[in-house]
Amino acid sequence: MQYNISHPTKKINALLKLPTSKSISNRLLIIRALSGHNFPIHQLSNSDDTRVLLDALALKQPIIDVGAAGTSSRFLTAFLSITKGEWELRGSERLHQRPIKILVDTLQQLGADIHYKEQPGFLPLIISGKSVEGGEVNISGGISSQFISALLMIAPVLQNGLSVQIEGELVSKPYVQMTLSLMNDFGIEHTWKDNRITIANQAYKSLSYTVEADWSAASYYFSMAALAKQSKLLLDGLFPQSLQGDQAIQQIAAPLGIRSFFMQNWLHLIKAQPSTQHLRYDFTECPDLAQTTVVLCAALGVPATFTGLQTLRRKETDRIAALQNELAKVGVTFDSEDDVHFNVKGQVEMPDQVPVFKTYEDHRMAMSFAPLALVLPAIIIEDPMVVSKSHPQFWEHLKAMGFEVQV
C-alpha cells in the first residue's frame, strides 16, 4: 500500500494529543512483571512495540514472537532468562539480522542458560529460565543502550545483584538514566560512580504510574511547524521535566525556526525565521531524532554536519543508507568522508514525477519524510502503516492538520 500525501494550503493550525512514550511504557511493563505486583499503568502506549511486549509478558505460550519489536526482544531476553520455564524468543526476518550476542554473552556470564536456535549471535534464542546469581560484568558503552537497560532492570532480582562496568563512551545515555530513574521510583537504589553502575538485590515496590507523551513523536510536528507557510501547533501530554532525552528536539529546532514553550500544560510551537547558516549537532544522546533533523535541514536548505550517528546502521534498517537513498530522489546528498561526520548538502527539489519514498520497515522513515508534503506539491509514502510501531494515530493527525492522505 502507498499513501499520496499533499497539503493544499501549506498552512497548519491544530491542537494534538500525542501518543505516550513507548520507551517508558516498555520499561514499566518489565518493572511490573519483575515486581510481582499488578500495579496500574495509566496511559500505556498503544504502539505495536508495547502491545507485543504486553502480550509476551502474559507468558501464555513457550514460543514468543515479537515481530519487529527490537526493544521488546532485548528486554525479554534478560527477563526470560530469570523467569522459570523453557522459552523460544524470535521475531521478524529483519530482527533476526540484528546482533544480540553481547547481551547474550553477558547474561551467560552471569549464569543464564541461553542458546542460539539458528545462527550464533542472533535470534531466535532458546532460553531456560532460572534463578541467576548475578555479579560483575564489563560491557561496551558503544552498544545499544537497550542492552544495558535490560540488564539493569533484572539486577535487583539477581541473587547477588549486579555491577556493570561501562567501557568507553556511553551511547544514548539518557535512556540508561531513564531506566534508573524509573527503577528508583519503584524503590530500587543504585550507585553510579565513574563508569560503574551497581545495584544490590532488593525488591521492587508497587506504585500507580502515568506515562508521559513521547518526545520522539513530537519531533515530527516540530518539523511540520518549521516547513509550513504558517503554523501554530499545540501539543498535549508532554512534561517540561521529562525523563526522555529526545526533549532535545526543542534545542535542535530553535535555530531552524521553531519557538517552543509550555503554557497551561500545552507545548506551543510557533514558526519563526531560521537563525543558523550551518547546523551542527551530536546525536550521541538522542539518535532517534536524527532522521527528523536530517530531512528538516534538507527541506529548509540549511547545510548541516552531524555526529553521533554510529547506532543508526543497526536500527530497524540501516538508517544512514536509507536516508541517503531517499534524499537523493529529491536532489539532496547526505554523505560522510570518515563515517563519523555526516553532511547534509542541497535543498529538496521536486523531481519530474511525484517522489515515492520507501520506508524500509522503519516507522521513523515514514514520519520523517511525511512533512516534505509541505514543501513539495505531493509525495508518496510506501508501506505507510509502519507508523503503528510507535505512533498509530500519525496519519489521522495529519488529516486533522489539513493534509490530504489518499490510498
> Computed over its alpha carbons, how large is the radius of gyration of the chain?
21
Closest CA to 311 of 280, 336, 286, 328: 286
Place of cell 520523517: 368
Distance separating alpha carbons of residues 149 and 176, to the nearest angstrom: 6
Distance separating alpha carbons of residues 46 and 59, to the nearest angstrom: 20
* 227 phi, psi to nearest 5 deg: -95, -20
Closest CA to 151 of 102, 96, 186: 102
Give residues with Cβ within 8 angstroms of 129, minimum separation 6: 80, 81, 82, 83, 84, 85, 86, 87, 113
Torsion angle (degrees, nearest 10) of CA 34, 36, 42, 48: 50
Q: For residue 288, indicate whether it is catalytic.
A: yes
CA atoms within 13 A on the CB side of 384: 19
Decide: 138 and 88 in contact? Cβ < 8 Å. no
Catalytic residue among 288, 335, 362, 383: 288
Distance separating alpha carbons of residues 201 and 133, to the nearest angstrom: 10
Encoded amino acid at 209, one letter: Y
Distance separating alpha carbons of residues 100 and 266, to the nearest angstrom: 39
Largest CA distance in the chain: 64
Place of cell 542472533: 122
Q: Is the dihedral of CA 65, 67, 69, 73 positive or negative?
A: positive
Encoded amino acid at 120, one letter: P
Decide: 366 and 387 in contact? Cβ < 8 Å. yes
Residues belonging to the active site: 288
